[in-house]
Structure 1
Amino acid sequence: MNKQRRDFIKVIGLTTGIILAPSLANASKENYFQDNYCDSNILNKSWEGHNKGEQDIRIKVLSYGILAANPHNTQAWLIDLKEDQSIDLYVDKTRVLPQTDPFYRQIHIAQGTFLENLSISASYFGYKAQIDYFPNGEYSNETLEEKAIANIKLIKDNSIKKDKLFDFILLRHTNKRKYQNLKIDEKRIAILKNELSKVLDNDSSLKITSDKKKIQKLSEIVIEAMRIENQDKQRDLETIKMFRFNDSEVNQYRDGFGFAQNGKSGITKFLLENFFVSREDAQKNPHTFANEGLKITKDQALSTNTYAWLSTKGNSRLEQVKIGRVYAKLNLITTSLGLAIHPMSQVLQEYKDMNKQQAEFLKETNTKENHTVQMFFRIGNAEKTEHTARRDIKDFYKVV
C-alpha cells in the first residue's frame, strides 16, 4: 500500500463533531409536525422563489417531486407533459443501475417516492393529485418496458388542506453519517408507527427493532452484504460512476453523491477532494476504493441502535411503486421527529452472489415465504449532512 493510500485511510477515518438531534420527549400526535416548522418554512419560501413567476402548476409540483429519495441519486425519472395538462411518469432507462439493481426493483420504488412528494406538494398549492398507475398496463417485475409508471392529473380543489409533511420536503435527506449510540425514545417510535399505519394496506407492513441481539446480528449481515457487493469489479465501477469526487463534478452532473453525504466537511472534505482521492485513481483501483466504503459501512452499522424494514406480500411493479410512496412519507415523518434515516440496501439486491446472505437476512427478520422486504434502513440521531444535488427540471422532460 503506498503512502498516499495510507494517508487517505487516516483522513477518511476522521470524524466531525456530532450534535444531539432535537429531543421530542414531549411529542404528541397533535404537535410533532410543528417542531421544525420555522426552519422549514424559511426554506420553503426560498424554494418557491426558485420558481417565481412559473404559471404551470405541473412544473411547480414537479420541482418538489425531484427532491425525493432515490438509489445513488440517479434521478431516473422521465416526465411527459401531456397536452391535456396531465403528466406521465416514466423510468429513465439511461439512469438505471444494472449491476446492483438488475431487476430495477429499487428504481421502481423511487418512482413511488417521486409520486408521494408530488402528491404532497400538490396539496400545498390547493390541488389534488389524481394518480392512475400503469395506465398502459403493468409489466413483469423482471422487465423494464416503455410504459408509463403513472398518469397524474392535478385537479383544483378549494377544500383541500395542505399536507403537514410538505413542510419537511426541503429538510429531508438521507443521512449516511456514523450515528450516535443512543436509543430512540419509545414515544417517537410510537408516533412513527401510528402515522404509517394510516397508509399501509393489508399487503404491506413496517417492522422496527431496537433489540440488542437482533441489532448485532443485522449489523453483521449488513457488513457482510457490503463485502459481497465489493467482490465484483463492475459493481464497484457502477458506484464509482455515481460518486462525485469534488464540487466541480457536483456542479457538472447535479446527481450522484459524494463525501459531504458521508458527513465529511471542512478541512477533511477539502483534503480528500484535492489531495487523496480522484476519479482516475478510483477507476484504476476500484476494489481499493470499495474497501474504504466497507469501512464506512462498518462504522455506520456499528453505530446503529434501530433498524426498520418495509415489506410487501408480493413483488409486483405496482407494489414496488406503492411502497415507495410509503417510504417517502416515512422519511418525511422521521425528519419531522428529528431523526436521521439511511437505507442499507445491499442485502436486498437480487444478484446471485447475494442469495445466501439474503436468505439469512430474511430468516433473521422472520419474513414470510413469498413476501418481499422492499426497504431496509437504519434510524437514529445524527448531525445533518448536505443535501444531494438535483438537475434542472427541464432535464427530466421526455423527448419524443
Structure 2
Amino acid sequence: MTLSRRKTLALIGGGTLLAAGGLGTGWAMTRTPTAALVPWERAGTYGDPRLRALSYALLAPNPHNRQPWLAELRGADTVILTRDPARDLPVTDPFARQLTIGMGCFIDLMRMAAAEEGDAVAVDLFPEGEDGPVAVCRWDGTAPSDPLFAHVMDRRSHKEAFEDQAVSAEAAAPLMRYADIYRGGDELQVLRDMAHDAWLTEAATPEAFQESVDLIRIGKAEIEANPDGIDVGGPMMEGLSLMGLLTHAAAADPDNPGSRMVIEGTAAAIEGITAMTVGHTPGNTRRDQIAAGADWLRLNLAATGAGLALRPVSQALQEAEVFAPMYRAVQTFAPDGGTVQMLGLLGYAPRTPRTPRWPLETRLRNA
C-alpha cells in the first residue's frame, strides 16, 4: 500500500513494519482516540443556534489540522471570528495564506450549518483591516438549506492511496463549479510533475519538513492530549511507538530507510493519480483567500457526494524561496492576473477515519 503524507511523516526508524505482537486484541481495540473524536458526535447538539453552527464549522478542512479559529459570542446574534496566531506555520505558510483559506472553509461551513436551520448569516470580512477580526458574523433573516450540507459528516481530507480507476466526466461535472478538473493529457502530467517535485523538495528541506514533524501526534495519548496536527494512530503505529521503532526522532530524519520508503511511496501516489483539481481566485487578497476556502470546502463536499476522495497537495503553492520555481510554474494554471490557491488529488478510495478536533469550548474566547 502506498502511504499517505501523514504516514510518510510517521517515519519508521528501521524501515520495517512490525506487528505489535503480544499486546493483545483487547489492547488493540482501545487504541481509537475516542475523546478527540467527540466533537464530531456533538455537532449540532448545542442550545444556542450560533454554537450549533460553530460546532459543525470546526469540522472544516484546514492546513495541517491546525484549527486556527477562535470565536467570541457577542450579544444575542453575533459571532466575532479571529485567527489564532499561535497556530501559524511560519516556514511553509509564511504569509498565513493557507491558514486564511482554512478560515474561509470554517466560515462557509458555519454559514451552511446555520442555513440548515433556516438562518441567514451576514458576514463582514476584515472590518478593521487585516490585523483585526477575520469576520463579524450576524444572524440576520432566513436562508434556504444547501444540498451540500448533507455530506458534512462523511467529508474527509483523504489520507491514503487512491484506487487505480479513472475519474469519469460525469463524476467530475458537479465539482467543476468550485475548481478546474484535469483528468488527463499534458496538463495533468505537468501538474503531477510539479506536485511530485514539490513534495520531494519539502522532504529534502529540513526547516519545512521539521515544521510538519513537530506537529505529529503518535498514538492515542498524544492525539487526545493535542487533537490537532498530524495524527498517527491505530494499533500498528502505536505498537511500533511502544517498541521504540516509531519515534519523533526518527520522524525528523528523512534519510533512514523507512523514511525513504514512505517518501518515495507518496511520490509514487502523486505520479499515479488520474485526476487533479486546481482552485484559483481573481487575485490574492485576504478576501480572495477566504473565497478560496469556501470553494475548497464545497469541492470537498461535492466530491464526497460524487463518491470521490480529495487530498490536498499544497507544497507547490508554498511561498518559501525553495519552492519558487514550482510556485511560478503552477501559477500559469490561473487566468491572467489570477492566483492558484489550492491543488488536490482526486480519485476513488475507501473513506478514511474522522480527523481529531479540539472541543468547541476550547475555541471560544468567552466560553
Q: TM-score, normalised by structure 1?
A: 0.77
Deviation of 1:258 (Å): 2.7
Give matches, 1:21-170, under 5 Å. Answer: 52=45, 54-137=46-129, 139=130, 145=131, 147-157=132-142, 160-170=143-153
- Relative to structure 1, the CA distance from residue 278 to residue 67 in structure 2 (aligned partners, 3 Å threshold; closer, same or farther) is same
Deviation at 1:96, TM superposition (A): 1.1
Give structure 2 stretches of 5+ with no counterpart.
1-11, 20-38
For structure 1, which segment, 89-98 or 294-303, has the greater mean C-alpha deviation from structure 2 after superposition?
294-303
- 1:230: how far off? 2.2
Aligned to 1:317: 286
Deviation at 1:377, TM superposition (A): 0.5
What does the per-residue CA deviation read over 1:252-298, in whole Å, with 9 as the maximum and x for residues that have no partner? 101122346xxxx66x4454444321124334x36658655532421
Aligned to 2:158: 175
Aligned residue in 1 for 2:305? 336
What is the SS of the residue equivalent to 1:170?
helix
Partner AA of 1:70 in structure 2: N
Q: 1:273 to 1:336 in 2, by over 3 A?
A: farther
Q: Superposition pairs for residues 293-304 of structure 1, below 5 Å?
A: 294-304=263-273
Aligned in 2, Cα 1:85/1:282: closer, same or farther, shift over 3 Å?
same
CA deviations on 1:177-232 (whole Å, 9 max, x unpaired) are: 11112111211112222xx2xxx6xxxxx321111443333222212111211232
User: Which of 175-184 and 290-299 deviates more?
Assistant: 290-299
Which residue of structure 1 aligns with residue 13 of structure 2?
5
Match of 2:189 in 1: 216
AA paired with 1:5?
A: G
- CA deviations over 1:5-36 (Å, ceiling 9, x no partner): 3443x569xxxxxxxxxxxxxxxxxxxxxxxx
Task: Within 5 Å, give how 1:246-257 maps onto structure 2.
Answer: 246-257=219-230
Taking every aligned residue pair, what percent have the same amino acid on both sides?
A: 26
Aligned-residue Cα RMSD (Å) equals 2.5
Cα separation, 2, equivalents of 1:290 and 1:98: 24
How far is the alpha carbon of 1:299 from its aligned partner?
Answer: 3.1
Q: Give 2:363's aligned residue.
A: 396
Contact 1:178–1:303 (CA under 8 A) maintained in structure 2: no
Query: Unpaired runs of 5+ in structure 1?
Result: 13-45, 140-144, 201-205
Total equivalences in the alignment = 335
* Paired AA for residue 145 in structure 2: K
Tell me the equivalent position of 1:378: 345
Match of 1:258 among 195, 215, 231: 231
The 5 A counterparts of 1:198-237 are 206-237=179-210
Q: SS at 2:153's partner residue? A: coil
SS of the residue corresponding to residue 113 of structure 2 reads helix
- In structure 1, the partner of 2:295 is 326
Residues 1:281 and 2:213 are matched in the alignment: no
Runs of 4+ in structure 1 displaced over 6 angstroms? none
CA contact (8 A) 2:330 2:340 kept: no
- Change in Cα spacing, 1:80 to 1:292, as seen in structure 2 (3 Å) is farther
Q: Deviations over 1:300-334 (max 9, x none)?
A: 20331001101112100010001111111111111
Q: Deviations over 1:318-351 (max 9, x none)?
A: 1000111111111111111110001110000001
C-alpha distance in structure 2 between counterparts of 1:309 and 1:213, whole Å: 15
- Given candidates 170, 173, 181, the residue that maps to 1:187 is 170
- Secondary structure of the residue aligned to 2:77 is coil
Does the 8 Å contact 2:42/2:55 carry over to 1? no
1:123/1:162 contact within 8 Å kept = yes
**Greater displacement, 368-377 / 317-326:** 368-377
Alpha-carbon distance in 1 for matches of 2:343, 2:134: 23
